[in-house]
Amino acid sequence: THYKDLKKPGSTEVLGWGDAEAAKAIIAESIDRYKTFL
């Protein structure tokens, strides 16, 4: 299957844009999750 076949057309919705601090928080959270995964 193709990855685009898994989602219904138009099922993605942008809820807004964050700032640099929000991006840093998401990156830090992702790094923490990766470390606990290992």
Q: Cα(10)–Cα(1) distance, rounded to whole angstroms?
A: 19
Per-residue pLDDT tens over the stretch 1-38: 666 666 666 667 788 899 999 999 999 999 999 999 88
Tell me if the pTM is above 0.75: no
Q: Report pLDDT for 7.
A: 65
Letter string b/e over residues 1-37, b meaning 16 or more CB atoms within 10 A of that residue's CB? eeeeeeeeeeeeeeeeeeeeeeeeeeeeeeeeeeeee
